[in-house]
Structure 1
Amino acid sequence: MVAIDALSADVAPPAQSPASAVWRRFRRHRLGLAGLWITVLLYVATIFVEILSPQAPDAYSTRYAYYPPQAIHLFRDGRFEPHVLGYKVQFDYASGTRSFVADPRAVVPLGLWVKGDEYRWLGLIPANRHLLGPVDPRQRVFFAGADRLGRDVLSRTIYAARVSMTIGLAGVALSLVLGVAIGGISGYAGGMTDQVIQRFIEFLQSLPSIPLWIGFAAAIPKDTPPLQTYFLISLVLSMLGWTGLARVVRGRFLAMKEEEFIKAAKLDGCSTMRILFRHMLPCFYSHIIAVITLAIPAMILAETSLSFLGIGLKAPVISWGVLLQEIQNIRSMYTAPWLFLPGAVVVFAVLALNFLGDGLRDAADPHGS
């Protein structure tokens, strides 16, 4: 009995898989975990933008030009009755300016899952229900104000998330394919192949990125349909984004190709592609995930910058960079500071993705705690 107990005490606990070990370390990274949940919520929101938006993004009325944000009031006359107050316009004929004053009599009741502007969810399913909005579909609310054409800034910012957040994924996906393939071939082949690929990567990294992006974007014809422009801009953003990942993959492959299990795979007759993608690449999946997670915010910022400068996406496509074009003049910045909302959302999304990427990078470190 004693021998059996001693034998059972010597039995080692079951080994953790690499993914389990990374997840265990990642859960202790509080900022990374917060970034994960925020990122998940942002991407879930991109699926339901039509439902989350109070209005259609292209609904306009010059009557509501530069309409200020309307605060939500939960109680009215002692009763729970969510509502907003409308504004009445006052003109100062001496200075030629107008101001908005809250009108207590212009009460707009709010409700959940209310009827409103019609849309096609994901471009397929016709519907007209919105998560939050006025009970009377003929009325308009502007929780984050309106732009110069009277379009709802909040609705347009929510719609823009679908383009800006997914263009980061599209660009990173292309960069991932190029980086893993080219970096893997460079590290595994070595010799002259490695030298040629590395000199090509160094040449690309030496090019100034912004002028190169401007040149690529300027080459896109102005009459290109919005959907094609979206994919072309994704391609432009990925042209230089793969070089860093290729360097990482190349370094790992150089270190691993002399390992015993790789030599055994060669002796067993495995093809080069099988050795690369079945035996070597899975050994550092977690590190690749961390790298591409940190690359997504860079892609988002690049698209925002290009669109803000007018050389990226253009209307009628709605992205955060396109929306920020509204604040390119001093008058808009002074009279309608709520137009900065897309910029604030960009900062929030990029911070969340950076926190997530930092957490994954620390968790993927084999020397981490």
Structure 2
Amino acid sequence: MDNSSKVPQESGALEGVDARRTSVTAETLQGIDAPTQPRRGESAFDTEGIAAAAPPEEARVEVAGQWQLMWWKFRKHKLAVVGGVVTLLIYLVAVFADFLAPFPANATSTQHTYAPPQPLRFIERTAEGTRFRPHVYGYTTEIDPVALRRTFVVDESVTVPVGFFVRGAPYRLFGLIPMERRLIGPLEPGGTMYLLGADRLGRDVLSRIIYGSRISMSIGLVGVALSLFLGVLLGGLAGYYGGWVDNLQQRVGEFLESIPSIPLWMGLAAAIPLTIPPLQVYFLITVILSVIGWTGLARVVRGRFLSLKTEDFVTAARLDGMSDLRIVMRHMVPNFMSHIIAVVTLSIPGMILAETALSFLGIGLRAPIVSWGVLLQEAQNIRSVATAPWLLTPGIAVVVAVLSLNFLGDGLRDAADPYA
């Protein structure tokens, strides 16, 4: 058999094999040059060590900083977002209290003692038809035949027009800018508008609640700021140096925590002379709350310092010749700053409740200072509450502020560890 006839056939077969190998190699190289997205459960690198492109979401997470990760996790906590918005609104009300309040905080009217609330209405019905006109109904006076005292009854036949951005009692915005415009108020001079009623001196309860937000919300911030300073300083010293410093700080903190809160507050508040001006009373009450409230934060800071002081970056900073203060403030504190923010946010409601309790018991802030606790003093008398239940509305403001701050603190506490 002629072997020459087999050569072309074999060469053709070999050419087919080479062509298939070439096509397979080209497809393989093409697949390597254009990496595919990894499937769920697979690593970002394949078994041959060739990097595969990550999805855009994973790529964003890999390059995001800690604060951005905290924000992403905080946004998923719906109650925390709502609490943050409400807290921001409350502080804005406190800042612009002069503009938002219809009347000055201490403006009295002896003719309207314990006047009931006048709901704000927007649609007025007249003989000509209905029209948009903000207004409240006026009062008529009646004599109670049993108690022989004057009572107010809302009279729908008397209409008091209400306007926005109306002229009112002059004030200084932020204590600097002289203004007369207020957000809402009666259009007629001397008109009555008590949206939440009046107290025993005929003062507008809504205006006093708005003004009271300044003291009640700011005392929480100032008190927590002082507690934060004491807690970070004393807890940091105890955790960083240890030894007798740690023992002294721990024993002092345990002693303060072992004393009942109410008797301690009463004893410290009783030491404030009655002749001290209201501004100094506010400062002293803030200091008292701060002296009592630093122990919890100090324990947290101490524990974090005990765990961080043995880390490699702290040892490297010591070998580099840095001072202890620079190591603490520059390297250690920023490592748990997010946790401190969460603890501080959760501590503000405690300060607000403490001030409210002290003022309600009469051993805290006193008139003419306007705070939510001072306003609740009006509700101590059962007879007053039965006559004017709207005097309890400052308590609603306290509940809303405390709940919003607690929700915000819970969200920040969860977001403080975005890698969990």
Give 1:107-122 correspondences, 5 Å limit.
107-122=159-174
2:118 equivalent to 1:66: no
Counterpart of 2:295? 243
Deviates more, 1:207-216 or 1:7-16: 7-16
2:226 equivalent to 1:178: no
Counterpart of 1:310? 362
2:271 equivalent to 1:228: no
Paired letter, 1:42: I
Residue 366 of structure 1: CA displacement?
4.8
Give 1:128-277 correspondences, 5 Å limit.
128-277=180-329
Specify the SS of the correspondent of 1:270: coil
Specify the SS of the correspondent of 2:330: helix
2:405 equivalent to 1:350: no
**Cα deviation 1:80-105 (Å, max 9, x = unaligned):** 11100111011123432433222233
**Cα deviation 1:324-351 (Å, max 9, x = unaligned):** 0101111111010000010110011000
Which of the numbers 269, 277, 281 marks the counterpart of 2:333?
281
CA distance in structure 1 between the aligned counterparts of 2:256 and 2:146, rounded to whole angstroms: 58
Specify the SS of the correspondent of 2:292: coil
Counterpart of 2:7? none
Specify the SS of the correspondent of 1:102: strand
Distance change in 2, residues 1:216/1:95 (3 Å): closer
Cα pair 2:224 2:351 within 8 Å, conserved: yes
Counterpart of 1:22? 70
Among all aligned residue pairs of Structure 1 and Structure 2, give the percentage whose two residues are the same amino acid: 56
TM-score between both structures, scaled by the size of structure 1: 0.96
2:52 equivalent to 1:9: yes
Cα pair 1:115 1:137 within 8 Å, conserved: no
Distance change in 2, residues 1:204/1:94 (3 Å): closer
**Cα deviation 1:85-132 (Å, max 9, x = unaligned):** 111011123432433222233211011100111212222222111101
Deviates more, 1:216-225 or 1:61-70: 216-225
Cα pair 2:71 2:415 within 8 Å, conserved: yes
**Cα deviation 1:157-181 (Å, max 9, x = unaligned):** 1000000000000100000000001
CA distance in structure 2 between the aligned counterparts of 1:102 and 1:262, rounded to whole angstroms: 71
Counterpart of 2:85? 37
Cα pair 2:69 2:418 within 8 Å, conserved: no
CA distance in structure 2 between the aligned counterparts of 1:157 and 1:83, rounded to whole angstroms: 21
Cα pair 2:119 2:136 within 8 Å, conserved: yes
Paired letter, 1:341: T
Cα pair 1:117 1:137 within 8 Å, conserved: no
Which of the numbers 56, 59, 69 marks the counterpart of 2:104?
56
Paired letter, 1:59: A
Higher relative contact order (CA 8 A, sep 6+): 1
Counterpart of 2:44? none
Aligned residues: 368
2:365 equivalent to 1:322: no
Residue 194 of structure 1: CA displacement?
1.2
Structure 2: state its 5+ residue gaps: 1-28, 36-49
Deviates more, 1:343-352 or 1:221-230: 221-230
Paired letter, 2:280: Q
CA distance in structure 2 between the aligned counterparts of 1:367 and 1:224, rounded to whole angstroms: 51
Specify the SS of the correspondent of 2:63: coil
Paired letter, 2:92: V
CA distance in structure 1 between the aligned counterparts of 2:292 and 2:144, rounded to whole angstroms: 53
Cα pair 2:372 2:394 within 8 Å, conserved: yes
2:133 equivalent to 1:81: yes
Specify the SS of the correspondent of 2:279: helix
CA distance in structure 1 between the aligned counterparts of 2:272 and 2:34, rounded to whole angstroms: 74
CA distance in structure 1 between the aligned counterparts of 2:146 and 2:267, rounded to whole angstroms: 48
Distance change in 2, residues 1:5/1:252 (3 Å): farther
CA distance in structure 1 between the aligned counterparts of 2:382 and 2:53, rounded to whole angstroms: 74
Q: Which has the larger radius of gyration?
A: 2
Residue 5 of structure 1: CA displacement?
4.7
TM-score between both structures, scaled by the size of structure 2: 0.85
Residue 4 of structure 1: CA displacement?
5.9
Cα pair 2:346 2:410 within 8 Å, conserved: yes
Paired letter, 1:20: Q
